[in-house]
Structure 1
Amino acid sequence: MESVMIQTKSKQYPVYIGSGVISSLPSFIEERFSNLSSVLIISDQTVGSLYLSSLESKLIGFETTSFLIPSGESAKSFDIYYECLTYALEQKLDRKSLIISFGGGVVGDLSGFVAASFMRGIPFIQVPTTILAHDSAVGGKVAINHPLGKNMIGAFHQPEAVFYDLDFLTSLPIREKKSGFAEVIKHALIQDPNFYDWLRKNVTDLNEISGEILEHSLLRGIEIKGEIVSQDENEHGVRAFLNFGHTLGHAIEAECGYGEISHGEAVVIGMVFALNISKQVTGLEFNTDELVGYLKKLDYQVTIPTGLVPGKIT
């Protein structure tokens, strides 16, 4: 098991990474929450059908209930957010309750916002189940989508801890692996050229990435994000670097319809676009052809999807 400590102005918390780390969750809860009243697990239908019983079995010593949301980006909506709050009220959660976010980035963003707003804020723990969530589970940005923009309604609400059990990643389809690994590549590009070179040499096929290489990739990505968030928790400065590729990426997601193109796939297109613009406008010296070749090798699309009108992507 590896660990990274995330330090922000508002909170310090650990990220535990490795196979089987979920077994340490009960003892962490016991130590951290001496007056705990109840636990609410928020997950989605896909993760719930595969792993919810496993997580629940670890928490039999606590007053625990679970709520499943639909799978996919469309769940980050006002309606599902309202349903989560209603369920929390029905289950009589209080200020001594804990929410466990059990799923990918959608679940983490939504349930984190539920935790941030329920009774003006209660604690939550992130238990990611996707590669993409190595980015979204760390840093405290929680939100839901609006038809006019992605992640436009939300808050900064740091988790108490992140338990990143790599055993949950074994069932990911290739599209989810690609979506998540796009953020790993992003972290390398914005901060660590050596990590970027290491990725190009060691990650050449996302269908056959080893557990050891995946763990190192996720660990370094989380370290990079943690370093940036520690400097700028509320995105007034350098944290904006983490949005690399997201300006066009979010616009593509919105224009296609949330869920029609994965977040990571859209961000890849946005990164290539941003680099080309930077070269034209600022004279940035970067080998974009090498990057594009690497992205294509990993089977990413690097141009705006067919059928989208550039003028409508705003």
Structure 2
Amino acid sequence: MPTLHLDFTKQDFSYPIHIAPLREHLRDTLTTLKPTKILLITNELIKSIYLPYLQESLKKHTTKGGNDFEILTYCVEDGEVHKNMSSIEGILDFAFANKLDRKSLMISLGGGIVSDIVGFASGIYERGISFVSIPTTLLAQVDASVGGKCGINNAYGKNLVGLFHQPKAVFVDTHFLRSLPVRELRAGIAEMIKIAVCFEEKAFEDLECLEVSGYINALDFLDSLAPHIKKAIELKSAVVQKDEKEAGIRAGLNYGHTFGHAIENLTHYTKFLHGEAVAMGMRMANALALKLGNLSHEQVQRIDSALSKFGLDFDYKIDSVEEFYEKLFLDKKSKGGKITLVLPRGIGGVDIRDDIDRELILETLREFG
């Protein structure tokens, strides 16, 4: 698999996304960065499975290169409910207590939650230090670790506190996917479908044709998924390069997210994985897009069928349509008291709308009540 490069020409910097076994490029990256200290941040589960492998790679590098890196490890609590300021403060306290400086490096080893937390913490520690991302879930590999958006949740909603802080490198090693539960794989596939629906019909057609038989995390399935992972990363990278700070087209990557974030908030971040909530949000967005003429019945059926094919069907009913509607205003895309929604425009295109009639949105929500 190749190395992709995310290039931001206006800011005159770029960074690599290595789609390869971890050890092929990690040592070279550390040679270039020459950090004074390394702080590895993960959770207890990932630590028990993969931390020794990563530490061994770093030790080999120190021997080969003659550098004496101090490698520290800090574990955050797992789960969306812990993607908050308390976790950030824990990392910062640990970093200050261990005297990390502005030439130190943080490494994110984990899924999207860890990636967000580490990106945020490194972005504000001493006004910003370097970090690299090693995503261990499918969702993080194709979405969360690409593009530098780092956010945490608060009492008002999801990802409402955050910043843009680009990593120095991303390492996408599909070996990590072998230990993933089926549910986590499905959540990642939801994000792959999202990217394809909005930005390339051929990529969506390829996912439609991907055969699923037996267990979704069987090795032969993971092997067949690899080129689709690469494609999803390529598509997202192309969008991010055009619009790093989400001033325009990058907002299209939030298809399903405005509704999905409301679902996560109303279920207190405990019932659904992020990708699962996004899948439900995509169905809601599809229903609204149908009413607006953005999608045909056949296109809605194709997208919904693709979600169902990968087990992305969930029993969720909106208890209070009015309460759900009010949660949509807490989405960070909303401006000037208007709800901003991302809707497919056919398959392979996207619209970003803030002019949709309130009653039409409520009518759509009632279909899911």
TM-score bin (small chain): over 0.9
| Backbone CA RMSD of aligned residues | 1.6
Whose relative contact order is higher, 1 or 2, with alpha carbons under 8 Å and at least 6 apart? Answer: 1
Change (3 A) 1:44 1:203: farther
Q: 2:253 aligns with which of 242, 257, 261?
A: 242
Equivalence map 1:153-164=2 (5 Å): 153-164=161-172
Structure 2: runs of 5 or more not aligned:
63-68, 328-369
Tell me, in whole angstroms, the C-alpha distance in 2 between the residues paired with 1:294 and 1:217. 14
Structure-2 residue corresponding to 1:300: 312
Does 2:19 match 1:17? yes
The alignment partner of 2:295 has SS state of: coil
Does 2:84 match 1:103? no
Does 2:58 match 1:50? no
Tell me, in whole angstroms, the C-alpha distance in 1 between the residues paired with 2:291 and 2:30. 52
Q: 1:167 aligns with which of 165, 171, 175?
A: 175
Structure-2 residue corresponding to 1:145: 153
Tell me, in whole angstroms, the C-alpha distance in 1 between the residues paired with 2:270 and 2:195. 23
Offset from partner CA, 1:194-235 (integer Å, 9 cap, x none) = 111111111435344623322111110110100000110000
Offset from partner CA, 1:250-290 (integer Å, 9 cap, x none) = 11001011132111111111112112211212443361112
Structure-2 residue corresponding to 1:33: 33
Aligned-partner residue type, residue 297 of structure 1: K
Tell me, in whole angstroms, the C-alpha distance in 1 between the residues paired with 2:303 and 2:147. 27
The alignment partner of 2:19 has SS state of: strand
Tell me, in whole angstroms, the C-alpha distance in 1 between the residues paired with 2:163 and 2:90. 18
Does 2:295 match 1:284? yes
Q: 2:212 aligns with which of 204, 210, 230?
A: 204
Structure-2 residue corresponding to 1:218: 229
In our comparison, the structure showing a higher alpha carbon Rg is 2
Tell me, in whole angstroms, the C-alpha distance in 1 between the residues paired with 2:93 and 2:281. 37
Tell me, in whole angstroms, the C-alpha distance in 2 between the residues paired with 1:111 and 1:97. 13
Offset from partner CA, 1:134-166 (integer Å, 9 cap, x none) = 200000000111121101111000000101111
Structure-1 residue corresponding to 2:333: none
Question: Displacement, 1:175?
Answer: 0.8
The alignment partner of 1:107 has SS state of: helix
Q: Which moved more, 1:100-109 or 1:68-77?
A: 68-77
Q: 1:128 aligns with which of 116, 130, 135?
A: 135
Offset from partner CA, 1:109-130 (integer Å, 9 cap, x none) = 0000000000000010000000
**Number of aligned residues:** 310
Tell me, in whole angstroms, the C-alpha distance in 2 between the residues paired with 1:37 and 1:112. 19
Q: Which moved more, 1:4-13 or 1:128-137?
A: 4-13
The alignment partner of 1:170 has SS state of: helix
CA contact (8 A) 1:102 1:108 kept: yes
Structure-1 residue corresponding to 2:330: none
Tell me, in whole angstroms, the C-alpha distance in 1 between the residues paired with 2:294 and 2:132. 43
The alignment partner of 1:199 has SS state of: helix
CA contact (8 A) 1:17 1:215 kept: no
The alignment partner of 1:93 has SS state of: coil
TM-score if structure 1 supplies the norm length? 0.94
TM-score if structure 2 supplies the norm length? 0.81
Tell me, in whole angstroms, the C-alpha distance in 1 between the residues paired with 2:252 and 2:134. 25
Tell me, in whole angstroms, the C-alpha distance in 2 between the residues paired with 1:63 and 1:211. 35
The alignment partner of 1:132 has SS state of: helix
